[in-house]
C-alpha cells in the first residue's frame, strides 16, 4: 500500500510530546519538523492569496528580524531556528492541506483519529491514576523536563478527576487544542459524527482548565446570538466590524491586566497561575520602551535589562514575541496568525478567535502545535463552508 507524503506528515502531528531527537540526544525538537522534507517536493505549488500572504509575513519576520537585529544588539538564540523552521513548515503544511478536497478529507480523517487516540489514552491515564500507578501516566512524553522530574498527571479541582493530558505535554495545552478543535468540527460545512463532538465537549468540560472559563460562556453566547439575532450576527462577523470588536476586546484585556479589580485578590487566591501570569505580562509590557526595533531575542527567563528583572518575564505570546522580535515586528507576527480566522468564513468565528487570543495569553511559544492547528482549522473550515454554502 502506497502511503503519501502528506499522510506521513499527518502521522508526525499525532504525537506532539514524543520526539526522536529527545530520545537520541536529549534535545527536544517538535516531531512534525522531522517530516518537513516530505512536504517539500517538486510538484508543490501555491497561489499568493490572503492566507499565504499572512503566512509569508510570519515567515519573513522570523527570518529577517534575527538578521537585521544583529546590527542592533539582538542576540541570536537556538529558538530562532525553531521559529524559522516552524514558519516554513506551516507554509508548506497549510498549502498541502487546502490543495484539493481529497487532502482536506485526509486532514479531517487524521483529526478524527487523533481525537479518538487522545480519548482512549485519557481513559488509560485515568485507569492508571485510579489503580495507584500515576508514574506511568506520562509515558507518551519524552520531554527532558518530564523524564527528569518524574512528572505525572496532577489532581484537579474536582477531587475524583485528575487533570488528564491526553497525548499532550500537560492538561492546559490539551484543553487549548480541544477548545480550538470543537469550533472546527461543528462547522456547518464540516462533516464529523455527533459522538465525536460529544466526546470533545465532555473532555473540555471536565478538563478543569482555565480555558473552560472562557470557552463555555463565549460558545453559548455566540450560539444564542446566531439563533436569536441572525441578521445582527451576520453583520458583526464581517471583517471590518469584527476587527472593531477585536480591538475593543484587546483594549479591555489590557485594562484588566493593568488594573486591580475587586475580584483580583479572589482570583489570585483560587488560581495561583493567575497572579504569576499577570505579573509576567505587566513586567514584560512595561519594559517595551527599553527594547530596540528588533527586540532582544528569544530570551531565557533570567535575562536582565536596565531597571527590569526578567525573572518574572511572562510566558504569554505578547511577552515572548515583543521581547524577542520588537514591538512592530512582534505585532505583525501575532496579527499574521490572528487575522487568518478573522478573514475566514467560519460558523463560530467569535469562539475560535477568543480561544486563540486566550491561547496567546497562556501559551506564548508560537512553535507549539496548537497554533498550526488553529490556522489549519480556520483555512480548511473556510473552504469547506464555502463549498457547503454553494450546494
Reported as a single tens digit per residue, the pLDDT across 104-127 is 999 999 999 999 999 999 999 999
Rg (CA), the chain: 21
Tell me if 7 is assigned to some domain: no
What does the pLDDT read at residue 316? 82
Q: What is the mean pLDDT of residues 217-226?
A: 93
What does the pLDDT read at residue 166? 95
Burial 257-284 (b: 16+ CB within 10 A, else e): beeeeeeeeeebeeeeeeeebbebbebb
* Three-state SS at 196: helix
Q: Which domain holds residue 248?
A: 49-389
What does the pLDDT read at residue 60? 97
Tell me the angle at which helices 5-12 and 78-97 cross, rounded to the nearest 10 degrees. Answer: 130
Q: What is the mean pLDDT of residues 285-309?
A: 67
Tell me if 37 is assigned to some domain: no
Tell me if 27 is assigned to some domain: no
Q: What is the mean pLDDT of residues 298-307?
A: 56
If one counts the domains in the chain, the total is 1
Tell me if 24 is assigned to some domain: no
pLDDT in tens, 171-213: 999 999 999 999 999 998 888 999 999 999 999 999 988 888 8
CA trace torsion 390, 374, 356, 282 (10° rounding): -150
Tell me if the pTM is above 0.95. no
- Percent over 90 (pLDDT), the chain: 48
The residue among 23 and 237 whose pLDDT is bigger is 237
Q: What is the mean pLDDT of residues 302-315?
A: 52
Tell me if 330 is assigned to some domain: yes
Assign residue 150 a region (left: φ > 0; alpha: ψ between -120 and 50; beta: otherwise): left
- Which of 207, 134, 139 is closest to 173 using CA atoms? 207
What does the pLDDT read at residue 312? 42
CA distance 28 to 86: 14
Per-residue pLDDT band at 58 (split at 50, 70, 90): very high
Per-residue pLDDT band at 61 (split at 50, 70, 90): very high
Tell me if 9 is assigned to some domain: no
Tell me if 260 is assigned to some domain: yes
What does the pLDDT read at residue 26? 77
Per-residue pLDDT band at 19 (split at 50, 70, 90): confident
pLDDT in tens, 258-271: 666 655 665 555 55
Per-residue pLDDT band at 1 (split at 50, 70, 90): very low
Tell me if 38 is assigned to some domain: no
Amino acid at each position: 500500500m502506497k502511503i503519501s507524503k502528506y499522510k506521513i506528515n499527518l502521522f508526525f502531528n499525532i504525537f506532539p510530546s514524543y520526539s526522536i531527537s529527545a530520545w537520541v540526544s536529549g534535545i527536544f525538537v517538535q516531531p512534525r519538523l522531522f517530516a518537513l522534507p516530505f512536504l517539500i517536493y517538486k510538484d508543490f505549488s501555491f497561489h499568493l492569496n490572503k492566507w499565504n500572504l499572512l503566512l509569508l509575513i510570519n515567515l519573513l519576520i522570523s527570518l529577517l528580524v534575527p538578521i537585521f537585529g544583529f546590527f542592533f544588539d539582538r542576540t541570536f538564540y537556538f529558538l530562532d531556528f525553531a521559529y524559522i523552521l516552524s514558519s516554513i513548515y506551516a507554509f508548506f503544511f497549510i498549502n498541502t492541506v487546502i490543495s484539493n478536497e481529497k487532502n482536506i478529507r485526509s486532514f479531517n480523517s487524521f483529526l478524527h483519529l487523533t481525537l479518538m487516540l487522545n480519548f482512549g489514552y485519557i481513559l488509560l491515564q485515568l485507569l492508571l491514576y485510579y489503580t495507584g500507578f500515576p508514574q506511568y501516566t506520562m509515558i507518551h512524553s519524552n520531554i527532558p523536563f518530564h523524564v527528569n522530574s518524574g512528572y505525572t498527571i496532577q489532581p484537579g479541582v474536582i477531587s475524583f478527576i485528575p487533570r488528564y493530558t491526553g497525548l499532550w505535554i500537560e492538561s492546559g495545552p490539551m484543553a487549548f487544542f480541544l477548545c480550538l478543535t470543537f469550533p472546527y468540527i461543528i462547522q456547518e460545512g464540516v462533516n464529523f459524527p455527533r459522538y465525536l463532538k460529544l466526546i470533545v465537549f465532555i473532555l473540555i468540560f471536565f478538563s478543569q482548565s482555565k480555558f473552560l472559563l472562557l470557552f463555555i460562556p463565549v460558545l453559548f453566547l455566540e450560539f444564542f446570538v446566531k439563533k436569536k439575532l441572525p441578521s445582527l450576527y451576520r453583520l458583526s462577523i464581517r471583517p471590518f466590524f469584527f476587527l472593531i470588536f477585536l480591538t475593543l476586546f484587546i483594549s479591555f484585556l489590557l485594562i484588566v491586566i493593568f488594573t486591580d479589580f475587586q475580584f483580583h485578590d479572589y482570583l489570585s487566591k483560587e488560581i495561583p497561575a493567575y497572579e504569576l501570569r499577570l505579573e509576567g505580562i505587566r513586567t514584560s509590557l512595561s519594559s517595551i520602551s527599553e527594547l530596540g526595533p528588533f527586540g532582544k531575542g528569544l530570551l531565557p527567563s533570567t535575562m536582565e535589562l536596565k531597571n527590569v528583572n526578567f525573572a518574572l518575564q511572562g510566558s504569554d505570546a505578547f511577552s515572548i514575541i515583543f521581547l524577542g522580535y520588537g514591538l512592530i515586528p512582534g505585532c505583525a507576527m501575532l496579527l499574521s496568525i490572528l487575522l487568518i480566522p478573522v478573514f475566514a468564513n467560519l460558523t463560530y468565528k467569535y469562539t475560535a478567535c477568543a480561544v486563540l487570543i486566550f491561547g496567546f495569553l497562556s501559551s506564548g511559544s508560537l512553535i507549539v502545535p496548537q497554533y498550526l492547528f488553529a490556522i489549519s482549522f480556520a483555512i480548511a473550515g473556510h473552504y469547506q463552508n464555502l463549498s457547503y454554502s454553494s450546494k
